[in-house]
Every structure is written in structure tokens, then in C-alpha cells.
């Protein structure tokens, strides 16, 4: 599957799942003073952005250093994405990552990692750059837009949950999970097709 700026942005928004992360962020920030919540959210989004950007810029070199191929990343990333998508469709009581979210003020874990910059997001940014390194500016722009969307949604998390209601937010999360399942299956099938093609030659 060939990605461009728009499709990469949509994919990254689906994977970082700002709407699905609303309950997690609200729960994590309960112990944080109201006047500090926006600052904490922006800090966590900035940390996630920095981590994803580093993986985007040096991920290809990291793969070569570890003797990993684009093929293994595509299949492995698809499997991780599939598992996380399943937890979005069938929610776990502890959230998609099974983490204890009741901390005074979260730092990096669990909001920046793994809520935003989780395994599937890291695998996806590396996959984008390994498939089309000549489109690096497009991928960076897509990541920037994604993080801006995440910041806006999460800053407005409590209002969005009040406006839409918990059931509507949950329905959106399950819908995004269903789309991610399809994307993850497509990633795995693409990897398997490439592998079979290589065997034939």
C-alpha cells in the first residue's frame, strides 16, 4: 500500500487514537491540579512527538544495525497493531495498555508512552520512512499534524466527553479499532505477499 501525506496523517491519527485516549487521560489527570492539566498534556504530547520523530529519522538505520528488513517490520508492526486494535474493539477494564493510571502527575508513562507513542506508532513511522525515505518531509508534516490534533483533542478531553457522552466516545474508539484491524491485516498480507514473491524468485 502506497502512502501519501493525507493517508499517512489519517493512519497516524487512527494509531495514536486521541479520542480513544480521552478516558485514559482524564483518569490519569484526576490527581493533577486543574491549572496544571493543560501543561501536563502538552508536555506529554511533546515527548511523544520527540520520540516518534527520532524513530522516524533514525529508524531505518536502527533496522539496518539490527539486521531487520522492511518485511519483518511490516509483518511485526501489523501484528502489534492488530492486538492493540482488538483491545480498542473489546475494551479491557484496565484500558488498552493494562496500566495502572492512578498517579499524582504522570510523566512519560503511560501518557506519552504507550498511549501516544506506543509500539504500533513507532513501527508505523519506521515503516513509512523505510518504504519511502525520499518523502521524509511529508512524513514529518503528517506526524506534526497528528500531534497537533492529539493535543487539541486531549486538551478538550473533559469537554468532549461531556458533549458526546462516554458511550459515543466508546463507539468512536471501537469504530477506529475496526479500521485499524483492517489496516493491520493489510500490512501483514502485504508483507506475506512480498515474502512469497521473494521465495518464487
Q: Is the dihedral of CA 7, 146, 53, 64 positive or negative?
A: negative
Confidence of residue 94 (pLDDT cuts 50, 70, 90): low
Q: Which of 21, 189, 37 is nearest to 117 (CA)?
A: 21
Q: pLDDT tens for residues 158-189?
A: 999 889 887 887 787 788 778 878 888 888 88
Q: pLDDT tens for residues 99-128?
A: 554 446 888 888 898 889 987 888 889 888
Q: What count of Cα atoms within 13 Å lies in the side-chain half-sphere of residue 171?
A: 6
Task: Give residue limits of the domains in the chain.
Answer: 5-200
Q: Where are the beta strands (DSSP E) in 37-92?
A: none
Grid coordinates given for 149: 490534533
CA 101, CA 34: separation in Å to the nearest integer?
A: 17
Q: Which of 73, 80, 87, 117 is nearest to 178 (CA)?
A: 87
Grid coordinates given for 49: 512527538
CA 139, CA 132: separation in Å to the nearest integer?
A: 9
Q: pLDDT tens for residues 8-18?
A: 999 999 989 89
Cα 8–Cα 14–Cα 17 angle in degrees, nearest 5:
135
Q: What is the pTM of this model?
A: 0.78
Contacts of 103 (CB under 8 A, 6+ apart): 28, 31
Phi, psi of 109 (to 5 degrees): -105, 135
Grid coordinates given for 97: 495498555
Confidence of residue 95 (pLDDT cuts 50, 70, 90): low
CA 79, CA 65: separation in Å to the nearest integer?
A: 22
Amino acid at each position: 500500500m502506497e502512502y501519501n501525506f493525507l493517508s499517512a496523517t489519517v493512519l497516524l491519527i487512527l494509531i495514536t487514537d486521541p479520542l480513544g485516549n480521552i478516558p485514559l487521560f482524564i483518569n490519569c489527570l484526576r490527581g493533577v491540579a486543574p491549572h496544571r492539566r493543560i501543561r501536563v498534556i502538552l508536555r506529554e504530547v511533546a515527548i511523544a512527538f520527540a520520540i516518534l520523530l527520532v524513530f522516524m529519522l533514525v529508524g531505518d538505520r536502527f533496522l539496518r544495525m539490527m539486521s531487520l528488513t522492511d518485511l519483518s517490520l511490516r509483518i511485526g508492526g501489523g501484528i502489534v497493531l492488530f492486538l492493540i486494535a482488538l483491545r480498542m474493539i473489546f475494551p479491557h477494564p484496565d484500558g488498552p495498555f493494562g496500566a495502572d493510571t492512578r498517579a499524582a502527575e504522570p510523566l512519560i508513562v503511560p501518557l506519552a508512552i504507550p498511549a501516544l507513542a506506543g509500539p504500533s506508532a513507532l513501527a508505523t513511522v519506521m515503516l513509512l520512512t523505510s518504504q519511502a525515505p525520499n518523502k521524509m518531509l511529508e512524513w514529518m508534516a503528517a506526524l506534526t499534524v497528528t500531534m497537533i490534533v492529539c493535543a487539541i483533542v486531549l486538551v478538550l478531553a473533559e469537554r468532549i466527553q461531556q458533549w458526546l457522552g462516554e458511550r459515543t466516545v466508546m463507539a468512536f474508539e471501537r469504530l477506529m479499532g475496526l479500521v485499524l484491524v483492517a489496516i493491520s491485516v493489510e500490512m501483514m498480507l502485504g508483507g506475506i505477499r512480498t515474502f512469497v514473491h521473494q521465495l518464487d524468485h
